[in-house]
Amino acid sequence: MMLFNTKEKTYHPILYFEHPLPGLSEVIRYKSKGHRTTGFKDREEAIATIKPELIDRLPGYKITQELDGDFYWDGIDIPADIQLRSKNK
């Protein structure tokens, strides 16, 4: 995912990694990582910075539509995101 800081006009690439929820084996929790960077003025540069980590953690992974759209952030406070997914889907 790409986070766009509307106050500073910077792009912040965000990666999600699996972090199990204690006691909820039927749910997968994905926590965000990387949005606390200083950001990048150029969107393509922001994408280039996360490619090595993606390749290292997920061999064979190809960046596709996950980075097509941006989420907008007003630049106030620290954004965080958690995605919950059912293991049954």
Distance CA 38, CA 13 (A): 11
> Residues 5-10: what's their mean pLDDT?
94
Angle at 59 between CA 58 and CA 61, to 5 degrees: 70
Q: What is the pLDDT of residues 21-42, one digit of tens each?
A: 787 778 888 877 766 678 899 9
Q: What is the pLDDT of residues 40-51, one digit of tens each?
A: 999 989 888 877
CB 70 within 8 A of CB 2: yes
Q: Where are the alpha helices (DSSP H) in the chain?
A: 43-57
The torsion region of residue 4 among left (phi > 0), alpha (psi -120 to 50) and beta comes to beta
Element (H, E) at 32: strand 27-33
